[in-house]
Amino acid sequence: MPASASESCLFIDQDMGEGVVMPFAQGSVAIYSSRCPDRESGNEDAAAVLPSGTDSGVLVVADGLGGQPGGKNASEITLRTLQSSFRRTRSEDGVGRSDILDALEHANEAVMDLGIGAATTLVAVEIDGPTLRPYHIGDSGILVVGQQGKIKLQTISHSPIGYALESGLLNEREAMHHEERHLISNVVGAADMRIEVGSRRRLASRDTVLLATDGLLDNLTTAEIVETIRTKPLDRVCAILAETARKRMCEPKASQPSKPDDMTFVLYRMHS
User: Residue 222 sits in which domain range?
Assistant: 4-270
In the prediction, which pLDDT does 201 show? 96
Q: What DSSP letter does each residue of 203-225 carry, written as one string?
A: PPTT-EEEEE-HHHHTTS-HHHH
Q: Model confidence at 172, in pLDDT bands (50, 70, 90)? A: confident
Residue 121: CATH number of its domain? 3.60.40.10
Provide the number of structural domains found in the chain.
Answer: 1
In the prediction, which pLDDT does 3 show? 43
- What are the tens digits of pLDDT across the range 89-99? 665 566 789 99
DSSP E strands, the chain:
4-5, 10-12, 16-24, 27-34, 45-53, 56-64, 120-128, 131-137, 141-145, 151-154, 196-197, 201-202, 208-212, 263-270
More reliable by pLDDT, 10 or 208: 208
CA angle 148, 198, 85 (to 5 degrees): 115
Calpha distance 8→63 (Å, rounded): 23
What is the percentage of the chain residues whose pLDDT exceeds 70?
A: 92
- Res 66 pLDDT > 80: no
More reliable by pLDDT, 89 or 205: 205
- Res 62 pLDDT > 50: yes
Average confidence score pLDDT of the chain:
88
More reliable by pLDDT, 14 or 191: 191
DSSP-derived pairing of the beta strands 208-212 and 263-270: antiparallel
What is the percentage of the chain residues whose pLDDT exceeds 90?
A: 68
Q: Model confidence at 67, in pLDDT bands (50, 70, 90)? A: confident
- Res 14 pLDDT > 80: no
Average pLDDT over residues 104-120: 95
Residues with Cβ within 8 Å of 257's Cβ and at least 6 positions away in sequence, in order, are 173, 176, 177, 218, 219, 220, 221, 248
Name the 3-class secondary structure at 83.
helix
In the prediction, which pLDDT does 1 show? 34
- Res 255 pLDDT > 90: no
